[in-house]
């Protein structure tokens, strides 16, 4: 039974990055514990506050954010953090080597009905100069990530991690309090018959996406020539995890309800880390027109359309958008 730390040492991950990842995992274990208590701990329901995105915060959004923030800004190797629940980036240690961005509790609308949620994180190297409360030092494209991953809080707590050498699964062994390796070098099948999208938004999509989904729904008689299944969990972590396990395609496309916003999902702490995982597993992650990790960020909360998963299916969607 190989523990996370042992795998990181084996893969040649530098000591400073191992420490930062270890602190992210300490926070995620605490979040997993609080989620396991649920209503017994009085942590369900919403606050009266909104985050910078204008979304009503769940109590566990705030709790999870505080757990991660308090642990990471006290790590000597963390220059600063950026979170979905923080208006601005937050400074850590002035000489810290890394920047950490995260969505502390993805899919939090699922909390009150006891469905899967998760924590997504991305780690970048900090430039030579600049304070962690200076947003500009975070604005690096996704190719600059040195590590990315998520923890899925489901029937078991699963860490899915890449440090640029493939994707590994780790399961939290609650008896020893450690994440242990359970699947190595995960690969996404290149072809799929399963898609995930919020169909209630169909009338707002671009014509290319509308036509692709319409063709999927025609099944064997349509131009795509196969019968598709549809899934939708309303948690990006759960959707991407299913794709890593058995293939598929996940789409949260641009729509015209808010034309000034290019998508719903955030580039820095949702799109980029998930894209790194998907590409490291042999899949493809795009905006429907370009690779997400090639997008140059302009703000810590920048939004982006997302189409990711089995490579050949993603390429089909891109053809519909030409």
Cα–Cα distance measured from residue 112 to residue 221, given in angstroms and rounded to the nearest whole number: 40
Residues 160, 142: Cα–Cα separation, whole Å: 17
Q: Are strands 194-196 and 249-252 parallel, antiparallel or unpaired?
A: parallel
Structure tokens at 105: 């509790």
In this structure, the chain runs to a length of: 322
- Let me know: does 247 contact 310? Beta carbons within 8 Å: yes
Nearest alpha carbon to residue 29 among 163, 130, 173, 133: 173
Residue 114 marked ligand-binding: no
Q: What is the DSSP letter of 254?
A: -
Q: Is 173 annotated as a binding residue?
A: no
Annotated binding-site residue? 75 = no
Any residues with CB less than 8 A from the CB of 57 and at least 6 apart, and which? 46, 47, 49, 50, 51, 85
The answer to whether 315 is a known ligand-binding residue is: no
Number of Cβ within 10 Å of residue 41's Cβ equals 14
Q: Please indicate if the annotation marks 298 as binding a ligand.
A: no
76 is in an annotated binding site: no
Which residue is listed with tokens 């299916």? 313
- Whether 133 has a binding-site annotation, put simply, is no
105 assigned ligand-binding residue = yes
* Annotated binding residue 311: no
255 among annotated binding-site residues: no
Annotated binding site: 84, 103, 105-109, 198, 264, 270
Annotated binding site for Mg(2+): 84, 103, 105-106, 270
Annotated binding site for substrate: 106-109, 198, 264
């Amino acid at each position: 039974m190989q523990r996370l730390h042992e795998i990181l040492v084996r893969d040649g991950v530098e000591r400073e990055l191992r420490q930062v990842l270890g602190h992210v995992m300490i926070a995620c274990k605490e979040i997993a514990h609080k989620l396991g208590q649920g209503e017994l701990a009085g942590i369900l329901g919403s606050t009266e506050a909104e985050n910078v995105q204008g979304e009503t915060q769940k109590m566990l959004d705030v709790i999870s954010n505080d757990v991660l923030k308090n642990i990471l800004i006290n790590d000597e190797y963390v220059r600063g953090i950026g979170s979905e629940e923080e208006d601005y980036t937050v400074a850590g240690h002035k000489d810290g080597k890394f920047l950490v961005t995260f969505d502390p509790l993805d899919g939090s609308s699922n909390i009150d009905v006891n469905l899967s949620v998760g924590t997504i994180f991305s780690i970048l190297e900090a430039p030579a100069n600049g304070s962690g409360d200076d947003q500009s030092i975070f604005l690096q494209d996704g190719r600059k990530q040195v590590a990315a991953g998520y923890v899925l809080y489901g029937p078991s707590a699963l860490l899915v991690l890449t440090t640029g050498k493939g994707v590994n699964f780790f399961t939290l062994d609650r008896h020893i309090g450690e994440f242990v390796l359970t699947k190595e070098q995960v690969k996404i099948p290149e072809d799929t018959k399963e898609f995930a999208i919020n169909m209630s938004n169909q009338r707002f999509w671009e014509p290319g996406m509308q036509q692709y989904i319409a063709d999927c729904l025609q099944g064997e008689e349509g131009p795509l020539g196969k019968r598709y299944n549809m899934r939708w969990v309303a948690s990006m972590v759960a959707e991407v995890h299913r794709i890593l396990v058995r293939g598929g395609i996940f789409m949260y496309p641009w729509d015209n309800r808010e034309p000034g916003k290019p998508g719903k999902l955030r580039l820095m702490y949702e799109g980029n880390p998930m894209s790194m995982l998907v590409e490291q597993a042999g899949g493809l992650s795009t905006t429907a027109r370009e690779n997400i990790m090639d997008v140059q960020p302009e703000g810590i909360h920048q939004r982006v359309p997302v189409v990711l998963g089995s490579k050949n299916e993603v390429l089909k969607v891109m053809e519909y958008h030409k």
